[in-house]
Amino acid sequence: MRVSLWATIALTVALPCMQAQAADSASDGAAAQAALVRTVTDLDTRFFAAFNTCDAPGQLDRHAAFLDPKLEFYHDTGGVSWTSKDYLDKTRQNVCGTYRRKLVGSLDIYPIKDYGALEEGNQAFCDTKTGECFGAAKFMILWHRTADGWLATRIFSYGHHALK
Q: Which domain holds residue 19?
A: 5-162
Q: Is 58 left (phi over 0), alpha (psi -120 to 50) or beta?
A: left
Question: Contact, 120 vs 107, CB < 8 A?
Answer: yes
In whole angstroms, give the CA distance from residue 85 to residue 67: 9
The HSE-up count of residue 163 (CA atoms within 13 Å, CB side) is 12
Residue 83: DSSP 8-state: S
Residue % of the chain over a pLDDT of 70: 84
Would you state the pLDDT for residue 124? 98
* 0.85 surpassed by pTM: no
Q: How far apart are the first and last CA of the chain?
A: 69
Q: What is the pLDDT along the chain (164 residues), one digit of tens a residue?
A: 455 554 554 545 555 555 556 556 667 889 999 999 999 999 999 999 999 999 999 999 999 999 999 999 999 999 999 999 999 999 999 999 999 999 999 999 999 999 999 999 999 999 999 999 999 999 999 999 999 999 999 999 999 999 98
pLDDT of the residue at 16: 59
Percent of the chain with pLDDT over 90: 82
Domain count, the chain: 1
pLDDT digits (tens, 9 = 90+) for 53-83: 999 999 999 999 999 999 999 999 999 999 9
Assign residue 36 the CATH number of its domain.
Answer: 3.10.450.50
Residue 29: the pLDDT is 82
pLDDT for 1 equals 47
